[in-house]
Structure 1
Amino acid sequence: MLGIMRKYKQSVLIKIVFCVIVFSFIGTIFLVWGRGDKTDSGDFAAKVNGTKISFDEYQKNYYRMKGIYEQIYGRSMTPEMEKQLGIKKTALESLIDNALILKEAKRLGIDVNRDEISAEIAKMPAFQKDGVFNFDQYTQMLKANRITPQNFEESMEEDMLVKKTREKIKERATVSDQDLLQAFKKQNDKIDLSFIAFSPAEVKGEVKVTDQDLNSYLQGHQEEFKTPEQLSIAYAVLDPAQFAAKLTVSDEEAQTYYQKNIDRYQGKGGILPFAEVKEQAKADALKLKSTKEAYEKVADAVNKNLKNADINAAAASLGVKVLETPLFTEKAPATALAGEADVIKKALFLKQGELGGPVETSKGIYLIKVKEKIPAAVPPLAQIKTQVSQKVAEEKARELAKKKAEEALAQLTKGSAVKLQETGSFGYAPTGVVPRIGTSADLMEAAFALTTAAPAAKTPFKVGNSWYAVKLKQRTEANTADFQKSKEQLKQALLPKKQQETLDNWLKELKSKAKIVINPAITAD
């Protein structure tokens, strides 16, 4: 393989092509393909027909996906965001899909040859110099990331084989004339819907709440009513500045600090030379030295008084005063601790009566002692009956609104007389905006699938806070004379969706026949 790659050293300018690998992937390329030696470490994320997907491989795929999402959103992913986006689940499922596809590719006789791998690697900007593949850069970058060319190229081969197989399956997709006609009619027909709506606010007066309802709701929703953990602390702060007058920084120390923190000394033309920022570097190094001295002093005081948890003795040895806070919570800290997240985090970690520190913040070095700690708890129902009653009434009103919509829809299906409103005539809108109802892509799709033979929708639709039962009142069909002229355009628009459906159905069938075992630890959270 390396012999094949060497020919690109003298090749002409290679046009940069981003196929599947978009620019944002380049930063994580080695997480995906740099899997290292494929030895079995004994742990696994999943087994697919006996083939193990290692936990390490899953972790790398997870961090790659997480990194891409962070680039897209321009921020770090919180645990809540990760859960909402399903990053961990997607990372594992994509590896399971790939394992199934690789096995099926062999059965279908699909392969990737060495020249194709070489050409794909040569396209990657990470291995190019002045727009041309550079063999030395390729080998050096792999070496820097502790990846062997063999492992990298094997992984490339797998990735390309997966892609090629997916494309082969997509080629099976067809768009029938019936599909095209339905699409034409959906785009050009006009419909008028009859509907009836039920909102929780409208039916709330019919709701009855019992004590049993309250107890059941509280049992199932304890986190909603749990009071947060409360604590109060005693603390003292040592200001590092008081050590500055006793300390000195040599020119050599200042230069060492400058070199370790060189990015701090930026000017308009780039990094400023040491000579120009010598005094600033000295001041910065002195500040660091003072902070380190203060930190060590506090650590020593805490250790000497840890057994008896005597914060007063510890503070006295440092020459600082002990202050106290009233009870506070993590989300509503004491006024004196506003902005001191690290101090609060440390206090929450400590037990009642325990001494802790040092904690470094912009205000100084803290030592702390937890005076009182009240655990998070769910109050008795009698104390929070009003709040629980409100929640139960809201939930039951939502359920009743949906139930009434289902009952109304059953009457519409039977043709029974129901007082209805009308949307008026409208055309299909990809945005899902239905006149007089609101925005619902699902309702829009279902509405244009209704016919005079089956005019009522199969289920009610929730739009905003209301539930809607809908029925086709009238359909104005478009003139199909222009259908033939628009067939090719419609086909091009429908084909990608059909291709994805074909691929999804194929993968679904593979999974249904496969023996897949997922490590419970992966899905535990």
Structure 2
Amino acid sequence: MVLYIFGGNLMLEGMRRHASWIILVIAAIFILSMAIGGISSIFVKNPYKHLGVIAKRNISFDEYREMLRNAYANYAQQNPDTEIDDKVSQQLNDQTWNQLVQQILFDKEIKKRHIKITDEEVIEKLKNPSEDITGLADLQTDGKFDYEKYEQLLLDNPNFAAYMEGRIRSSLPYEKLYADVKAEVVVTEEEVKEQYIKDNDKADANIIFFDPNKIKEVEITDEDLQAWYDENKEEYKKGPARKYKYVNIKLEASEADKAVVKTKIDSLYKLVIEGENFEDMARQYSQDSSAPKGGDLGYFGEGRMVSEFNDAAFALKVGEISAPVQTQYGWHIIKCTGKKNDENGNPQIKASHILLKFEPSEETKQNIAVLADDLYMKAKKEGLQNAGEALAYTVNETKEFYQDAKYISGIGRDNGEVAFAFQKKVGSLLEPIKQDNGGYIVAEVSYKVGDHYLPFDEVKKRIESKVKTKKKVEAVIAQAEEFLAANKDADLFKEAEAAGWKIVEAKDIVLEKVISGLRKDELLNEKILALQAGENTGLVKGDNGAYYASVIDRKTPDMEVFENTKDELLKTLQEKEENAHLNDWFTELKENANIIDNRDLFF
């Protein structure tokens, strides 16, 4: 074989001599990428020593900045026509950080498990290239991967050979780690058999659902709510939490911006009144989605549009054009193009319009950044509550959030604000946060607590819903018992339907799936599958209501089919359990690692 001509380790030595070529090419790409416009400002140095800590390893700003530069370069190369805006920047930042966390944690595990790579393993991987290599056009013959071309390319092109070796040596330790973790899962034939039986033990049944939502009113006292809280207090036990006070400075058109729009709409109105074609003007100038149709809104009845628009439109005669009308959306010029009554005799109007929206100008966008900075500077001296009130802003407070929070009420998706709140003391201010809508949020850590129970008053509304449901279920069970007792000798399903109870004709009921048309109630599934065709469950008192089921048909698992397919089923279940275990393992790895994310202090 040609591979033996490689001389095994001798071939690898030749690859290593040319490895620097790969590094130089990559470095050149990254250096060229520094010319990407609009992102250089995020690479300015910050005086803080460490950007973060991952599993006791300090992450320097310079190290992370280089990784982020590479991420920008790769993105720009793959998306040459896409602007790198704030949203893309944040996505790249998050992806880079998550990849770094994963790499460091995995590298520590590789070291802990003493995972090593041998030259023999690298050679074996070279003999079995991955799909992205076998799919290369230069390695195809008649549309199929040509192994001899691949071997020849490794021999003739030392740069390609060096690339392949480097790639394998980089990825193989992680592949062995994944395999090591997955090997911790062993699925037995007995487990596969048990799952097969669960999936194939089926029943068809007619079910009466005694729905608690048919109980309109139940009496709930404060004593009921307090009793529920006391009995279920552990449900409301929480870990360390924080809150922010915050001011949301919204980006909106200024009065000056609105005045400019008014001047423009007046000019357009003058033109259409003097005879310019209304539809053409709408196509050219309107900022509404109806513009391509000449502003046509079709027919609509009274009350369909906002009141100012509605009143002006219905006051017009067919062919008339309104003077400019202001609504919350901007300025409109409305033309009535038809009138009629609908099938109920209610008047309808057909209208077209030209809309110029109220939009903030560039000057307004710049001004709002200044306003946010002014509030921030004042809050540093006086605190956010005092500063916000002094500048006539509304100061709100978020709900409690925890260390694993991905979203903070009132502020939005976490971009480092959670880590900041848990690392800083009460009164610490975040620098103004620019929102996707152009506005800014100024926030201050306002609350700090360790392990605690949520107070009764805070969860009272939630408890009220639970107690109401519990009481409704109890009431509907009582009604179901009365119904069954009163109709012992009758056609229960006919009587139930006449009484307004829901009838569900369920097919292929299995143990672990929700019955279509009902809520999840495992007890009902268990009761049905314990019966044979022609039998009934009697009254089933579930968590979500009461049920009565009559089994129409039963299908038991075909164990001969199991015997014929058990190897394939074992493989499928093994892969499913391995992947689930791998995800759980990584989640636990992250939870047990000390991870401090200070990116928000740098970018």
TM-score range, shorter chain: 0.3 to 0.5
**Structure 1 or 2: more strand by fraction:** 2
Give the TM-score of the pair, scaled to structure 2. Answer: 0.38
